Structure 1
Amino acid sequence: MFGSFRNVAKTGLSSVLTRSIHSVPKKRFYKNVSVVQNNSKFEINLDHRKLKTPLGGPFQVKSEPLAHAIANEWLSQKDTIQLSQMHLTGLCNTCIDNPGRTKKEVLVESILGFLGTDTVLFYSDEPPPLLKLQKEQWSPIIVWFNNRYGVEVAPTLDITPPQLSDKDRKILEKHLLSYSWSAIQGISFGVDAIKSLILTLAVLDRRVTVTQAVTLSRLGEIYKNNDYYGIFSCGHLNGLREGLSRRALRSVRA
């Protein structure tokens, strides 16, 4: 009886400790981070402790490059663990735990909803040089998107949202549903980060790089700062770091 109680208490304490790591700031309690293979999946070890998800499940991914990228997130932490800056860890936790018990169909519907407010579909006619820049940089991506998926999406010059026919919506829905649950979570994460389904799919299809996608999503802001041609300066790249890290998972193609 007491043995069973101790086991339950030990399990409960372990769950509390696991949740505390993911919910409150915590001092770094480990020195080394390593990646180990367990059957066909990869796990992260913090010293000799296996990393777990917020719900206490095993943290396992199928991609070795992704596992090493996550390990680097943990290795780069200083005195305090800053989970808000560990985007790959957070995304994988969501994929594994699915805390909201969200169905893939519901997530796909949410992703498609972004197309009505997609960054690259809203041109600005003022000032004229910005419109010229948007046409130069965004139009080729829109043309690629339409040809790639066999749809007809057109940009707008006012606040009227772009129209998406039922036929085109079904085409895109079918394509998105062909991805795995984890991939859909990654796509949702990317779309939310750069506010563009078109650019996110362009990254997936290797039509643009991660850096280019983030740059294109911030074209108006960059123009206003008169920094378009200095976009790849060290200072500006530091400003894009968070967006780039949030998009990195798709370049890993887990």
Structure 2
Amino acid sequence: MRDLLSELEGGGPVDPVERTRALSRRPLPKRFYKDVTLGAEEGGHVVLLDGRPVKTAGRKPLVLAEEALAEIVAQEWRAQGAEIDPQTMPLTRIANVAIDAVPEHAEDVADDVAAYAGNDLLFYRAESPQELVELQETRWGPVIAWAEARYGGRFVLAEGIMPVSQDAGLIARIRETLQPFPALRLTGLHVATTLSGSALLALALAEGRLTSDEAWAAAFVDEDWNIRLWGADPEAERVRAQRRRDFDAAAAVLSVTRAGT
């Protein structure tokens, strides 16, 4: 499925390969500040670069209600070297999208999460070998059971990759629970969903049913199985490490904003 937030961040639908190429060609800006501190502003906390507040790509104040998240953003800015690399600043990027784009597109973002729930990774099970079948059930079965109890319905599971249809009422109930999510929490949920391929894992993470480590391990049951058989690819490991960094940033958003709900 498409990554709606990447489209919003980029200003509209983009080809992901071309976007990656464009980003790699773009020269990184030089670090222009020395000190990174936190300040208070109406509505929350701001990151200050030599006393000046950080703004989003849309030139809006980057204000976070949660001090813990503002401190993580500050740490990302402190960690920059001679150049500023946005790819190493996942929480800053999440905050940018949450402030600049999601408020006007919240319905679309929530719809996208619900669409993932209707075609979730956890529904599609291996037919063999038995060890993988059992591993999937161990990792995924409790999440399915929790979601069925939480949202009041039964999911249809399938062996293989042929699509299965889920009960529309069940997916609608999942969608309904997203309605009160503030922009930052909804953004974190969407990021966790797209990176894991599973709305159910992201929702369990959001509600504290899974830790970040547990959700990430569950998302990569099949890939880790193949790695055990055939070994790891260095480039795939690099990409996965970058995705894990982004996932952990989304998990931090969900954890901190859950405490405030």
Structure 1 counterpart of 2:22:
none
Please give the residue correspondences for 1:74-85 in structure 2 after superposition, counting only pairs within 5 Å: 74-85=77-88
Distance 2:188 2:103 in 1: 16
Structure 1 counterpart of 2:192:
190
Please give the residue correspondences for 1:155-194 in structure 2 after superposition, counting only pairs within 5 Å: 155-194=157-196
Alignment CA distance shift 1:196-1:75 (3 Å): same
User: What is the CA-CA distance between 1:96 and the residue it aligns to?
Assistant: 1.0
Task: Decide which moves more: 81-90 or 118-127.
Answer: 118-127
**Cα deviations across residues 149-195 of structure 1 (Å, max 9, x unaligned)?**
11211321122223222211221121111212322222111111111
Q: Which structure 1 segments of 5+ residues have no match?
A: 1-22, 228-234
Q: Is the CA contact 2:103–2:183 (under 8 Å) kept in the aligned structure 1?
A: no
**Cα deviations across residues 12-35 of structure 1 (Å, max 9, x unaligned)?**
xxxxxxxxxxx7511211111111
Structure 1 counterpart of 2:95:
92
Distance 1:245 1:103 in 2: 21
Alignment CA distance shift 1:59-1:47 (3 Å): same
| 3-state secondary structure, aligned to 1:30 | coil
Structure 1 counterpart of 2:144:
142
- Please say if 1:225 is aligned against 2:210: no
| 3-state secondary structure, aligned to 2:75 | helix
Q: Is the CA contact 1:193–1:246 (under 8 Å) kept in the aligned structure 2?
A: no
User: What is the CA-CA distance between 1:209 and the residue it aligns to?
Assistant: 0.2
Please give the residue correspondences for 1:119-130 in structure 2 after superposition, counting only pairs within 5 Å: 119-130=121-132
Structure 1 counterpart of 2:17:
none
**Cα deviations across residues 60-94 of structure 1 (Å, max 9, x unaligned)?**
11111010011111111112111012111111111
Task: Decide which moves more: 213-222 or 175-184.
Answer: 175-184
Alignment CA distance shift 1:50-1:24 (3 Å): farther
User: What is the CA-CA distance between 1:105 and the residue it aligns to?
Assistant: 1.8
CA RMSD for the aligned pairs? 2.3
Distance 2:175 2:37 in 1: 38
Amino acid corresponding to residue 175 of structure 2 in structure 1 = E
Amino acid corresponding to residue 81 of structure 1 in structure 2 = I
Structure 2 counterpart of 1:35:
38
- Please say if 1:252 is aligned against 2:256: yes
Alignment CA distance shift 1:170-1:246 (3 Å): closer
Distance 1:241 1:151 in 2: 33
Alignment CA distance shift 1:57-1:112 (3 Å): same
Structure 1 counterpart of 2:247:
243
Amino acid corresponding to residue 64 of structure 2 in structure 1 = V
Give aligned pairs, total. 223
What's the % identity of the aligned pairs?
25
Amino acid corresponding to residue 158 of structure 1 in structure 2 = G
| 3-state secondary structure, aligned to 1:105 | helix
Larger Rg: 1
Q: Is the CA contact 1:130–1:223 (under 8 Å) kept in the aligned structure 2?
A: yes
Structure 2 counterpart of 1:57:
60
Q: Is the CA contact 1:121–1:154 (under 8 Å) kept in the aligned structure 2?
A: yes
